[in-house]
Amino acid sequence: MTTARAIRLTEFGNPDVMRLETVDVPPPAAGEVQLRQTAMGFNYIDVYQRMGRYPLPSPTGLGFEAAGVVEAVGAGVTDLKPGDRVVYMNAGGVGAYADRRNVPADKVVVIPAGISDEDAAAVFFKAMTAQFLVRKTYAVQPGDIVVVHAAAGGVGQILSRWAKALGATVIGTAGSAAKCEAARAAGCDVAVDYTQADWVEQVIAATGGRKARVVYDSVAKDTFLGSLDCTAPFGMVVLFGAASGPAPMIEPEILNKKGCLFLTRPSVFPHNADTATFRANAKDVFDAMASGAVRAAIGARFRLDQVADAHRAAEARSQAGAIVILP
Ligand SMILES: NC(=O)c1ccc[n+]([C@@H]2O[C@H](COP(=O)([O-])OP(=O)(O)OC[C@H]3O[C@@H](n4cnc5c(N)ncnc54)[C@H](OP(=O)(O)O)[C@@H]3O)[C@@H](O)[C@H]2O)c1
């Protein structure tokens, strides 16, 4: 038996409900590996769960994503060995905010040489999200006009650069002039500040009046109705998050009135439910990193004992790029 420093919650609410505790870690069970975690990824879903908006049992850990080094393998694990560097995005549920953890071996992938643990932790969950969005939910084609909301954020930057690499014209939105600059640096052809009242008109103007084939909307409450207006006839609105709060209720008939639109609300986990698909999608992500279509853009680093500050920074929308948590 060894121990770990891990974030634990017994109640849900503001960032101070996250407590750093020392917990016991048993030897890895059959099918598990024990990781010494070297970098943890922050994802906005961590905020929804900490707030109680996405319910968790209590007490609970938090965090979906981390990179680390295999220190021990359980019975039956033959494809990993001590010393391997690995990353995961959902190793049997939350609990990634920790410096040591046992996880199912089939939920991790080896990090290719040339990609640091920090970059892997910063990118993996977010790039796996961008992967299904550009490949499966709407397969982006050369010449498509694509709108990406929160384009300066973690997923937003990756999604914008990947859609651009696939040959799309990418129009990003973001919450300030500085973030619009970050969105342009991440591959957006045009960036619109969606805190301005006329952001929908600006986006439509940027499309030359043609509107978008697909709008990727992770902001929801503040953007969803505008997203419907930015979408071309027969185009798709992809609602995949709710950073500003849940989207307003709509009558299905509105999709007809706005141009026979398609609306979907997908999630990364069902897209990676079986090991073979997960590993193939991970390879697609690492290939995209090698080609430059996906890049790690780390906006801030926090230590595990500063995780409340990491959440506060995310909720304050104070910086662009991904947040990484270090042990
Ligand atoms: N469906 C899935 O499977 C899946 C998987 C991963 C992530 N997601 C979603 O993708 C989105 C991005 O995730 P991320 O981890 O990369 O986070 P993030 O983009 O780094 O942070 C959220 C972004 O939302 C924008 N935002 C707009 N209104 C906001 C508000 N009221 N409060 C806070 N932020 C607001 C902020 O950008 P501005 O300041 O520029 O507005 C901020 O950059 C999240 O909504 C997340 O839930 C979905």
Does residue 265 have its Cβ closer than 6 Å to ligand 1? no
Give burial (CB, 10 Å; 0-12/13-18/19+) of 177: exposed
Q: How far is the centre of ligand 1, averaged over its atoms, from the C-alpha of 153 (Å)?
A: 6
DSSP structural state of residue 258: T
Does residue 175 have its Cβ closer than 6 Å to ligand 1? yes
Average pLDDT, the chain: 97
Relative to beta strand 322-326, strand 298-303 is: parallel
Closest-CA residue, ligand 1 atom 9, reads: 241
Q: How far is the centre of ligand 1, averaged over its atoms, from the C-alpha of 149 (Å)?
A: 9
Q: What is the mean pLDDT of residues 35-61?
A: 97
Q: How far is the centre of ligand 1, averaged over its atoms, from the C-alpha of 43 (Å)?
A: 8
Q: How far is the centre of ligand 1, averaged over its atoms, from the C-alpha of 11 (Å)?
A: 23
Q: How far is the centre of ligand 1, averaged over its atoms, from the C-alpha of 187 (Å)?
A: 18
Given phi > 0 = left and psi -120 to 50 = alpha, else beta, which region is 196? beta
Does residue 315 have its Cβ closer than 6 Å to ligand 1? yes
Q: How far is the centre of ligand 1, averaged over its atoms, from the C-alpha of 25 (Å)?
A: 32
Q: What is the mean pLDDT of residues 260-264?
A: 98
Does residue 60 have its Cβ closer than 6 Å to ligand 1? no
The Cα 171–Cα 52 span in angstroms is 33
Closest-CA residue, ligand 1 atom 45, reads: 241
Cβ atoms 161, 188 nearer than 8 A: no
293-302 pLDDT per residue, tens: 999 999 999 9
Q: What is the mean pLDDT of residues 224-250?
A: 97
Does residue 156 have its Cβ closer than 6 Å to ligand 1? yes
66-115 pLDDT per residue, tens: 999 999 999 999 999 999 999 999 998 999 999 999 999 999 999 999 99
Which atom of ligand 1 sits closest to the CA of residue 195?
41
119-130 pLDDT per residue, tens: 999 999 999 999
Confidence of residue 162 (pLDDT cuts 50, 70, 90): very high
216-234 pLDDT per residue, tens: 999 999 999 999 999 999 9
Using alpha carbons, list the distances in angstroms from residue 140 to 134, 167, 217, 264. Answer: 5, 8, 15, 15
The domains of the chain, with CATH numbers, are 2-123+272-326 (3.90.180.10), 142-264 (3.40.50.720)
The H-or-E segment that residue 275 falls in is helix 275-291
Q: Which amino acid is at 195?
A: T
What is the predicted pLDDT for the residue at 1? 87
Q: Directed axis angle between helix 275-291 and helix 154-165, to 10°?
A: 70
Confidence of residue 318 (pLDDT cuts 50, 70, 90): confident
